[in-house]
Amino acid sequence: MTYILAIGDRTYSSWSLRGWLTFAAFGLDLRAASAGLISDAFAEMREEFGGSRQVPALRIEEEGRTIHVWDTLAMAETVAERHPDIPLWPQDPTARGLARAMVAEMHSGFTALRGDCPMNLRRRYAGFGPSEAVRADLARIEVLWQRAAEIGGEGPWLFGAYSLADVFYAPVATRIATYDLPVGPAAARYVRTVLADPVFRRWRAMGLAENHLQPGYDIDLPTDPWPGPAPRSARVASSGTPVNAACLFSGKPTVADGLVEVDGQLLGFCNAFCRDKVAADPDAWPEVSRLLDA
C-alpha cells in the first residue's frame, strides 16, 4: 500500500498542512507531490489525483487498484478507518465526540480568521489590527481549546495526546503566530507547542526551502522574527569537504552544491532542496541532530 499526497505551497496552503500532518504526525509513510498554487503544474498535478478541484488530494495505491480521496476531513476519516491501531482520535468517547465536533467546526467555520489572516509561515507581523469578526473567531477558538483541556488527559496537546484535533488546529496556531493575534495565556502556550513540534518544523523548513513567493500573501506591516524556537546557526556553503559522504536523507552521494555549515560543521546533501531545508532549520531533522550531537 502506498499513500501519495498532492499538496500546494507549504508556506501558504493551510489545507495542505492539515493533509500532510494527518500522515506525518502519526508516523505513516507518505510520498508528497507538490506544485505552486498559482501555476500550470498545479492543474496538471490535480488531474493525477482523480481530478480534485483542491489540495490536498490523496491517492492510495494497493492491490492493483487506485483510491482517490480529497477534502481534509474525508481524508482524516479514511486514514482513521484504515489504521484503527493508531489513536488518531482521543480514546475516551466524550473527548472523541468533542474532538470530532471541533474538527468539523474548524473545517466549515472561522471564515473571518481564515479570510483576513491567510497562512503565511514566512512572516511574523507587528501591528496587525484584527477585525471584530476575527476577534469573535478567536474567542470561540479559545472556548473550544479550554473545553478540550478540561476533558483531555495529561499532555500539551488539545486533548493531552496528539490527535486529529491538533492536525486541524495547527494552521490556526500559525495564524495566531503570524499576525500576533490577541489570545490568553493558555492559548498562547498551545501556539508555542505547535510551533515547537518537530514535525511542524520540518514542514515549515521545507516551505522555506521551496522559496515560492506568492503574490497577495504579504502585507505592508513591520515584521518580527518568527516566534518559534530559534534553530542552530546554519548557512549554505560553497566549498569544502563534508563530514558525511552520503546524504543523510536519501543515502545518495553528496554533491558540490549541497553543502551546509551548521554550528561550524560542514554537512553534505544530494541536492539543493535537501541542503536548503536543513539550512532553514537544522533542528527539525533528526538525521542532522544525530550527526551533530554524536
Q: What is the pLDDT of residues 17-42, one digit of tens each?
A: 999 999 999 999 999 887 766 667 77
Q: Is residue 294 pLDDT above 90, yes or no?
A: no
Q: Is residue 246 pLDDT above 90, yes or no?
A: yes
Measure the CA angle with vertex 34, ends 105 and 291; round to 5°.
100
Q: Is residue 250 pLDDT above 70, yes or no?
A: yes
**Which is higher by pLDDT, 35 or 88?**
88
* Model confidence pLDDT, tens digit, residues 159-171: 999 999 999 999 9
What are the cell numbers at 152? 483531555
Q: For the chain, give the mean pLDDT.
A: 93
Q: Is residue 173 pLDDT above 90, yes or no?
A: yes
- The rounded distance, in Å, linking the Cα atoms of 33 and 42 is 10
Q: End-to-end alpha-carbon separation of the chain, Å? A: 35
Read off the pTM: 0.94
Q: Torsions phi, psi of 182, nearest 5?
A: -75, 115
- The rounded distance, in Å, linking the Cα atoms of 255 and 245 is 9
* Model confidence pLDDT, tens digit, residues 38-71: 667 777 777 777 777 788 999 999 888 999 999 9
Q: Please spell the DSSP secondary structure of 165-226, one letter per residue.
A: HHHHHHHHHHHHHHTT----HHHHHHHHHHHH-HHHHHHHHHHHHHT---TTS--SS-B---
Q: What is the pLDDT of residue 33?
A: 82
Q: What is the pLDDT of residue 212?
A: 84
- Residues ≥6 apart with Cβ < 8 Å to 154: 160
Q: What is the pLDDT of residue 141?
A: 98
Q: Is residue 11 pLDDT above 70, yes or no?
A: yes
* Model confidence pLDDT, tens digit, residues 218-228: 999 999 999 99
Closest by CA position to 269, among listed 205, 204, 225: 205
Q: Is residue 192 pLDDT above 80, yes or no?
A: yes
What are the cell numbers at 111? 471564515
Confidence of residue 282 (pLDDT cuts 50, 70, 90): very high
What are the cell numbers at 114? 481564515
Q: Is residue 82 pLDDT above 80, yes or no?
A: yes
Length of the chain: 294
